[in-house]
Amino acid sequence: MNTDNVSSRLGSTDLKVTRLGYGAARIDAIAPGQAEVLLNTLLDEGITFIDTADCYGDSEELIGRFLGNRMKECVLATKCGCLIVGETGEDYTGPVVANSIDRSLRRLGADHLDLVFIHSCSAEQLRNGGCTESLLAAKDAGKVRYTGYSGDGDDALAAIDMGVFDALQVTFNVVNQEALSEVLPAAEQAGMGVVAKRPIANARLAAAGSPVHRDGVYWDSARAVLEEQGVWEDPLELSLRFTLSHDVVSSAIVGTTDVEHARANVRRAAAGPLPAIALETLYRLQPRE
């Protein structure tokens, strides 16, 4: 087992999550046998925080089927609130959330869920749609241990201000640093655990034609410093290390369907925080979507 991916306490909870986590949104895009190998390899490599959602196709079912008893080695987060194919009702209402939680328990073969996020709804829906009350009721009933909200910007700030969630999942990476000024400090002040989504910016730094491709003008003001500090060669490592350089982030979740990509991400995360001068240079970039 790889032991470089150390665990971090998730906010004020008793959950210990690995700094590098796994986003399982696309795991149903590969053959079941490949999914089984990938999931078990993740655990063998020390990635024991897994993030999924009931609206991610067969993701929950695959995790429940192929990890089985090994699920006790993991902290598993899922999400609720969105209607899935064939379901009736209205997004982010109490009945939809209650049904989602029960469905996730069945799919995963679990008697409780470690962490459940409400999946990216507006602040208005959080306050008045019934989804928050339903999630908290599931916690009171012992179906859910800890609760969270997944979202960005003003909606994330509203969720933090409500004072009822244990964790926040938020977009944070080198080309989208919006959370740095208000959302991350507010979550830390509230004692919430923070999970960074899209920490490698959906690999756009490595994608030809992307406005933030590593060879583009976006990096002109920073390239020389990053090269001097020896952190420029691998753009995905640069982005992942940027996100993990912030202690407020308990875990950064990266998705992949490839075992070797997963192992490469473990190596990238193990390189540790970026040098201070590299961080300061990256803060001065003009973030763009």
Backbone angles phi, psi at 143, to 5 degrees: -80, -25
In this predicted structure, what is the pLDDT of residue 130?
Answer: 95
Residue 17 pairs in a beta bridge with 8
In this predicted structure, what is the pLDDT of residue 65?
Answer: 97
Q: How many helices (H) and strands (E) does the chain have?
A: 11, 10
Which residues, given as ranges, of the chain have pLDDT below 50? 1-3, 289
The length of the chain is: 289
pLDDT in tens, 155-193: 999 999 999 999 999 999 999 999 999 999 999 999 999
Residues 2, 203, 47, CA angle at the centre, nearest 5°?
20
pLDDT in tens, 120-160: 999 999 999 899 999 999 999 999 999 999 999 999 999 99
Is the separation of the CB atoms in 176 and 198 below 8 Å? yes
In this predicted structure, what is the pLDDT of residue 204?
Answer: 86
Is the separation of the CB atoms in 116 and 166 below 8 Å? no
What is the separation of C-alpha 277 from the centre of its chain, rounded to a whole number of angstroms?
27
Angle between helices 131-140 and 94-108 (to 10 degrees): 40
Instruction: Using DSSP bridges, classify how beta strands 144-150 and 75-80 pair: parallel, antiparallel or unpaired.
Output: unpaired
Q: Which domains does the chain have, with CATH numbers?
A: 7-202+248-272 (3.20.20.100)
pTM here is 0.95
